[in-house]
């Protein structure tokens, strides 16, 4: 993300003082982490923000059995030892093989993830199907919201579905953030609904448009470049 900001600053049709960042799902956590220590990002917004480290450690709803992350870390360590011996290890599958398994393992949230990523709704032939095992211990130690307070005095907007099981993560980040900050709820929306379901995406986009238009326009008295509009 910081490299993307650097790239934008080299373009004459971009105002380098009016760059914002938007992250959705895990990218919401990445955007907060990147912007917290990069003052070139002048406004930050997230939609269905997730700290991927917390999700691995505690589950999407925060109630995961602690033995699950312990088992994952054991497998990651074993994979590292195997690789040191020149052996290969299979990756950790991102999703179950069927909708029924997804529902049984992850409830509504697990089923919605399967329906989004493993069907024609959003499936792509080059999309990842697995995590490498040595990446698991890196993810487990990641803290997306650990320095969220450093975003201030730049503004932060967090858009959250009222029915999202991951909402607790946005709430935790919002509580630790400093003002100016906004938490905007989308009634009736789950985590995945805010990806592509029109009735929920529309009000989210309206809120994001207002936020960025207002916050970034404040930073300059000159008309916005066409690309920024």
How far is it, in rounded angstroms, from Cα 194 to Cα 203? Answer: 10
Task: Write the DSSP assignment of 11-28 as a string of letters.
Answer: -TTS-TTSEEEEEETHHH
Is residue 226 over pLDDT 70? no
Sheet bearing 181-186, strands edge to edge: 19-24, 41-47, 156-161, 181-186
Residues counted in the chain:
229
- pLDDT confidence bin for 218, thresholds 50/70/90: confident
- How many beta carbons lie within 10 A of that of residue 67, not counting itself? 8
Per-residue pLDDT, averaged over 4-12, amounts to 97
Model pLDDT, residue 220 = 58
What mean pLDDT do residues 208-221 have?
87
pLDDT tops 70 at residue 223: no
pLDDT exceeds cutoff 90 at 66? yes
Q: Is the peptide bond before 98 cis (omega within 30 degrees of 0)?
A: no
Residue showing tokens 């399967």:
114
Say what the pLDDT of residue 89 is: 85
For 17-51+143-228, the fitting CATH number among 3.20.10.10, 2.40.50.140, 3.40.50.1820, 3.30.420.40 is 3.40.50.1820
Q: How large is the average pLDDT for residues 32-40?
A: 98
pLDDT of residue 19 exceeding 50, the answer is: yes
The Cα–Cα gap between 140 and 69 comes to 8
Burial (CB < 10 A; 0-12, 13-18, 19+), residue 180, is middle
- What mean pLDDT comes out for the span 196-219? 95
Mean of the pLDDT values across residues 180-209? 98
What's the average model confidence in pLDDT over 59-75?
97
Look-up of token digits 């032939």: 125
CATH for 63-140, options being 1.10.3470, 1.10.10, 1.10.287, 3.40.50: 1.10.10
**17-51+143-228 and 63-140: identical CATH topology:** no
**Position 92 confidence tier, pLDDT thresholds 50, 70, 90:** very high
Residue whose token pair is 């095992």: 133
Q: Is the pLDDT of residue 221 over 70?
A: no
Residue extents of the structural domains in the chain: 17-51+143-228, 63-140
Rounded CA separation 212/229 (Å)? 10
% of residues, the chain, pLDDT over 70: 96
Residue 219 has pLDDT above 80, yes or no: no
Distances (CA, A) of 96 to 39, 55, 179: 40, 17, 41
150: DSSP letter: G
pTM: 0.91
Token pair belonging to 56: 């691995």
């Amino acid at each position: 993300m910081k490299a993307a900001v650097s790239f934008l600053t080299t373009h004459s049709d971009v105002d380098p003082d009016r760059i914002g960042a938007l992250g959705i799902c895990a990218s919401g956590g990445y955007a907060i982490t990147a912007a917290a220590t990069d003052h070139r990002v002048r406004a930050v917004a997230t939609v269905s923000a997730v700290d991927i480290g917390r999700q691995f450690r505690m589950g999407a709803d925060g109630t995961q059995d602690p033995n699950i992350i312990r088992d994952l870390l054991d497998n990651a360590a074993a994979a590292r030892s195997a690789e040191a011996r020149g052996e290969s290890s299979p990756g950790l599958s991102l999703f179950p093989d069927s909708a029924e398994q997804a529902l049984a393992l992850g409830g509504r949230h697990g089923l919605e993830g399967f329906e989004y990523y493993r069907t024609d709704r959003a499936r792509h032939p080059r999309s990842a199907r697995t995590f490498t095992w040595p990446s698991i211990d890196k993810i487990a130690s990641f803290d997306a919201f650990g320095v969220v307070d450093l975003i201030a005095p730049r503004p932060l907007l967090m858009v959250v579905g009222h029915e999202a099981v991951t909402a607790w993560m946005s709430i935790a980040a919002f509580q630790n953030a400093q003002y100016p900050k906004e938490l905007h709820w989308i009634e009736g929306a789950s985590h995945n609904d805010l990806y592509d379901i029109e009735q929920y995406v529309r009000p989210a986009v309206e809120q994001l448009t207002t936020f960025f238009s207002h916050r970034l326009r404040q930073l300059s008295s000159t008309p916005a470049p066409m690309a920024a509009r």
